[in-house]
Chains A and B, each alone.
Chain A
């Protein structure tokens, strides 16, 4: 019995060892080649890195140690190559994971299937799904190094979207209520607001509530107020140094970064009982990288349906040389979750408001 147990233990250890010997160079080459594809490097570099990891460096390493071995040679040439390949590739994997965990996740999630480019069919799709499922294993590591500075303003007791997301009613071109908004400017209550109504958050919302009875247009008016009255704090954004972004401070200063816009809209909503919440995550535009950058926006519950709002992106645009340019728009006022999901990825997947939430990898792809 004891002998059988020992035999089984040896068999398992041996199998694990052979698996590690086989898988470590395969994994190393997959990781290295995906990073090369992700950074748009030459294919030749992929092939070269693969040959370096196996067999070039292990063989060169073995030749270098030949002199010393003449005195005490125990292992065969094959044993030595296997062991050196294992050590080299495990060290390579460890270094990559330690030094570039985020790049690895991004590369595998977007280009981990580069060798299947242009190929289609059920088997190929199965392989692709398998590769991307493997790459999801690194998401935890990616998130460990991925901090959103605007999380500090999030309310930890915040509601989740209840009831569960339902398909958003499809908008019609030319409609005056709902996305896509066509030729709709600032809400009249915001456009014609007397200065006496702008003394506090409460006075603003009371004035808007008295002027607009329709719930959807009332939330639009609150959004319009934030998008129109707040200027983007471009100098501090480019300096990466954000002053406090709480609603009262933003209301007084009239400048903010995304967190301030979203906190003010949340506070305006709360002031008149509208359910508007603060959401954090990543957003990307045509000039940013695939993974985007930290951002904050809102979701609002209107007539038992949740909608997404980005008052920052609807206020204008920012350029390093010219700073903030005010340009009110409604592109990001209640867009369908699928449209919004191309540029915005919330940290809490519930705020995707999709029937079938997507993974971070799918967002990146």
Chain B
């Protein structure tokens, strides 16, 4: 769920553009971070309060 604050910080979602999609092992989320904000993304399973940190893979352009 994208919050207004996310866009207010100058970020853009590149992929995935669907609210629901299937994944077998790894879910990849691509962002554009034009203002070079520090990010600490995490995820949690539906219904769970426990959040896990996402792994950051190769990036293109400024981090």
Contacts and interface: CB of A to CB of B under 8 A. Distances in A.
Interface stretch (A21-29, A71-79, A146-154, A338-346): A338-346
A40 B22 CA distance: 8
12 contacts: A110-B18, A285-B3, A286-B1, A290-B19, A290-B20, A329-B5, A335-B4, A335-B8, A342-B1, A343-B1, A343-B2, A365-B19
Chain A CB within 10 Å, residue with most, of B5, B9, B10 = B5
Nearest to B18: A365
A339 B13 CA distance: 11
A200 to B, nearest CB: 32
B1 A284 contact: yes
A180 interface: yes
Nearest to A181: B8
B25 interface: no
A117 B22 contact: yes
Contacts of B1: 284-286, 342-343
B47 to A, nearest CB: 10
Contacts of B19: 110, 290, 364-365
A336 B8 CA distance: 10
B7 A339 contact: yes
B21 interface: yes
**Chain A interface residue count: which class?**
20 to 34
Interface string A286-299: 10001000000000
B20 A110 contact: yes
B3 A286 contact: yes
Given A173-B10, A173-B35, A340 B4 contact: yes
Interface residues of B, number: 16
Q: Is the interface of B mostly helix, strand, loop or mixed?
A: loop
Nearest to A179: B8
A88 B9 CA distance: 54
Contacts of A110: 18-20
A364 B17 CA distance: 11
Interface in A173-218: 173, 179-180
Nearest to A339: B7
A286 B47 CA distance: 11
Contacts of A180: 7-9
Interface string A337-355: 0011011000000000000
A38 to B, nearest CB: 7
Given A173-B10, A179-B8, A331 B20 contact: no
Contacts of B5: 329, 331
Interface in A287-325: 290
A232 interface: no
Contacts of A54: none
A36 B20 CA distance: 13
Nearest to B6: A339
A139 B59 CA distance: 41
A37 interface: yes
A342 B18 CA distance: 12
Contacts of A142: none
A111 interface: yes
Contacts of A365: 18-19
A287 to B, nearest CB: 8
A225 interface: no
Given A173-B10, A173-B35, A331 B22 contact: no
A114 interface: yes
Nearest to A288: B1
Closest 3 CB pairs of A and B: A180-B8, A286-B1, A331-B4
